[in-house]
Chains A and B, each alone.
Chain A
Amino acid sequence: MTSIAAISSPARRRKLVGAGRRQWIGLLYVAPAVALVVVFFIIPLCMTAWMSLHNWPLMGAHSFIGLDNYWAILRDTRFWNALKFTGYYTVVVTIAIFVVAFPLALFIERPRPLTGFYRTSFFMPAVIGFASASLLWSWLLNVDSGLFSPAAFELGLTEKKVNLLATFQPAFWSIIAMVVWKVAGFTMIILMTGLQSIPPDLQEAAMIDGAGPLARFRAITLPLMRRTLALALILSVAGSVLAFDQFYIILRGGPRNQTLTAVYWIFNQSFVSFKLGYGAALSMVLLVILVALSLIQLRLLRQPEGVD
């Protein structure tokens, strides 16, 4: 026993040293990334958590109040309403994005004439920032000087110019249209990479077995794209839960405060009511919700990939 240990230990140690050094070098390689994450994520996160325990006005002295901010959140009906609206928006917009992006991905996946052109033009809106896209649509949606209402009026589709942003339904669906226009191209590219990673011989084999296009889509394409779908879904849900720019710039939370999202409410509390500590507490709550949502989605979509 001892002799074996004596014999094997130097070798093992050398091996360990080698592995240790490799690990050390590996750490060195990721150090810049780690530093970025620590400086721009971990530290601000800890500061936010710290601030959330204070009565922290934008100006003037702050004081420690323990969990009072969190108790206040429980009674903050406007925050829960904002969260409810955010949830509704997230569900609607995620479905809308996939409904548009999936056909687009199927369409551009195989090489055909002008594929490059289609890919580029579908993807183009994704490279614009959300704020700039919102400003653009803010103009397009303007009833007096924009595009949609005056065009519909000139074409005789409506009796008079309709102010799309004045009531909830048209305003909400305008935003959905804008977000789909902006984001579907990106989701399409993600889905396309998933589609392309499916070995063509599987499809061919199924075809020889006599499976129709719908059956092949259900039995081969969808199951094999599980991971890609998970990625696209998480990106879409996380992005939608954090929605702010489009509602702030185009609607200002209107009509009549019916489109206030959770982040919008946090912004209002922090920079309109000057309650930074409370805003920080709201942010922590939203963070927990978002992490939970992502974990649930990962779990649901983590199941074996069938053929691997």
Chain B
Amino acid sequence: MKTTITGLAFAASIFSTLATIGPAAAAETANIWVRADGSNFMPRIVDAFNKGHENQIKLDIIPNAEIIPKYGAAAAGGTAPDALSLDLIYTPSFAAAGQLEDITDWAKSLPYFDSLSPAHVKTGTYKDRIYGLPFSADSSVLIWNKKLFKQAGLDPEKGPTNWAEIEAYAEKVNALGGDIKGFYFSGNCGGCNIFTFTPLIWASGGDILTEDGSKATLDSPQLRGAIDLYRSMVKKDLVPAGAQTDTGSNFFAAFAAGNIGISPSGAFAIGALNTQYPDIDYGVTFLPGKDGGWSSFAGGDNFVVTKGTTKIAVVKEFLDFAYSLEGQTILAKYGSLPVRGDIANEALKDLDPRYKIAAEAMAKGRTPYSVVFNDLINSANGPWNQMINEVFFGEDVNGAIANAQETMQSIIDSAPQQ
């Protein structure tokens, strides 16, 4: 392992510094970008790496919405960073665009390759070659407010385990009245709902896309069931009116304000609540299926390398560090779940025990695979977002599903085939 890396470092540095004849150890600096979601843990791990290594990493933090266009522009201008911590769902489309370095051989040489987060590796693989490896992780879970549960006469230590319980508990909390509401979700945010709503469908045995992303499969009893659950809660006024137009800005803030009984959320909320809202007493559980069972959206970032970079050795050295126990512990401490299953427990052992639930959700979590994920799901004007808003709050559920099914399929079919 070590020798391959040194060998590669040697080759790379000779390649990049043809003029200077010198030892392979000449210190180099690689540039890495991360989206703003990683602004908590990324600087910490980069600092730790830079302190202990001769080669250095220069980190740039880019606003979430801008990292894709900015990277595209930089790549076109030849100034792209050497590597990028990329929202994992974009890995297939970046790989399809021929923008990423094939790192299959290196990835498979890692002794712990098999215990790396499967969701990341799946999205990091394009046409049987690996272009991205897991870096940071976030899984979707259900959180509930223990204080409100107690006030409503519910067991504060027991979260809902199926859909009927979600609705019943939310109703009880809602009955407290005033500003207190039973349930919250961001009703106009495609990204939020693929993260927290689809696990309800998965846990019940349905799906919205086929495994390879080639077919949209919206018209299923499981999707309709989950829609009925949300519609019923909206109808009973268990959900604040603002949910209908929340484009995601209130995704976390609504629960953090302390007036919401139950809300689907993510592992990130554990770190954020603990540090920013220490007064909120909350529980974490899995997103359940209709009659029990559970599922989760395994999200986070893949680490990808820009095609043709000369600093690949530094980049690999950095990723090796991130995969070490030290690296995984730093990541976990500052808001990302560990991505190495084999040492996850060790990395989490001194942290908030609620992380364990999120880590387990991550390990068995799923991630839809599509080269047009942005168009289908994340776009505020895409078919998925339009559908969820209509089916949760509108009149014509059947029409909305049929329309979304058709639009999604046509987007998939007209995607560039390579």
Spell out A's residues near B (CB within 8 Å): 57-61, 142-145, 149, 160-163, 165-166, 252-257, 260, 264, 268, 270-274
Residues of A within 8 A of B393 (CB): 166
| Measured CA separation A142–B250 after assembly (Å) | 11
Q: How far is the CB of A112 from chain B (nearest CB, A)?
A: 43
Residues of B within 8 A of A57 (CB): 97, 416
Confirm or deny: B101 has a beta carbon within 8 angstroms of a beta carbon on chain A.
no
Question: Do A143 and B188 touch (CB < 8 A)?
Answer: no
Residues of B within 8 A of A253 (CB): 380-381
Residues of B within 8 A of A163 (CB): 241-242, 244-245
Q: Within the complex, which residue of B97, B242, B379, B389 is in contact with A144, where a contact is CB–CB below 8 Å? A: B242
Residues of A within 8 A of B390 (CB): 256
Residues of A within 8 A of B381 (CB): 252-253, 257, 260, 264, 268, 272
Residue on B with the closest CB to A149? B241
Confirm or deny: B75 has a beta carbon within 8 angstroms of a beta carbon on chain A.
yes
Residues of B within 8 A of A60 (CB): 97-99
Q: Within the complex, which residue of B72, B73, B98, B380 is in contact with A252, where a contact is CB–CB below 8 Å? A: B380
Question: Do A272 and B375 touch (CB < 8 A)?
Answer: yes
Q: Within the complex, which residue of A165, A268, A272 is in contact with B245, where a contact is CB–CB below 8 Å? A: A165
Residues of B within 8 A of A255 (CB): 188, 245, 389
22 CB < 8 A contacts A-B:
A57-B97, A58-B72, A58-B73, A59-B97, A142-B242, A144-B240, A144-B241, A161-B241, A166-B393, A252-B380, A252-B381, A253-B381, A254-B389, A255-B188, A255-B389, A260-B381, A268-B381, A272-B374, A272-B375, A272-B381, A273-B374, A274-B72
Residue on B with the closest CB to A257? B381
Confirm or deny: B409 has a beta carbon within 8 angstroms of a beta carbon on chain A.
no
Confirm or deny: B386 has a beta carbon within 8 angstroms of a beta carbon on chain A.
yes
The answer to whether A271 and B69 touch (CB under 8 A), given A253-B381, A254-B188, A255-B389, is: yes
Q: How far is the CB of A262 from chain B (nearest CB, A)?
A: 13
Question: Do A61 and B98 touch (CB < 8 A)?
Answer: yes
Residues of A within 8 A of B379 (CB): 268, 272-273
Residues of A within 8 A of B76 (CB): 59
Confirm or deny: B357 has a beta carbon within 8 angstroms of a beta carbon on chain A.
no
The answer to whether A166 and B386 touch (CB under 8 A), given A60-B99, A144-B240, A252-B188, is: no
Confirm or deny: B309 has a beta carbon within 8 angstroms of a beta carbon on chain A.
no
Confirm or deny: B247 has a beta carbon within 8 angstroms of a beta carbon on chain A.
yes
| Measured CA separation A165–B71 after assembly (Å) | 33
Confirm or deny: B94 has a beta carbon within 8 angstroms of a beta carbon on chain A.
yes
Question: Do A59 and B72 touch (CB < 8 A)?
Answer: yes
Confirm or deny: B319 has a beta carbon within 8 angstroms of a beta carbon on chain A.
no
Residues of B within 8 A of A162 (CB): 241
Q: How far is the CB of A134 from chain B (nearest CB, A)?
A: 13
**Residue interface bits B363-384, CB-to-A below 8 A is 1, else 0:** 0000000000011001111100
Confirm or deny: B68 has a beta carbon within 8 angstroms of a beta carbon on chain A.
yes
Most buried by B among A59, A270, A273: A59
Q: How far is the CB of B205 from chain A (nearest CB, A)?
A: 29
| Measured CA separation A29–B267 after assembly (Å) | 62
Residues of B within 8 A of A264 (CB): 381
Residue on A with the closest CB to B411? A273
Question: Do B242 and A254 touch (CB < 8 A)?
Answer: no
Q: Within the complex, which residue of B69, B75, B99, B244 is in contact with A166, where a contact is CB–CB below 8 Å? A: B244
Residue on A with the closest CB to B249? A138
| Measured CA separation A268–B97 after assembly (Å) | 18
Question: Do B245 and A256 touch (CB < 8 A)?
Answer: no
Residues of A within 8 A of B374 (CB): 272-274
**Residue interface bits B185-207, CB-to-A below 8 A is 1, else 0:** 00010000000000000000000
| Measured CA separation A225–B117 after assembly (Å) | 70
Residues of B within 8 A of A268 (CB): 379, 381
Residues of B within 8 A of A272 (CB): 374-375, 378-379, 381-382
| Measured CA separation A270–B76 after assembly (Å) | 14
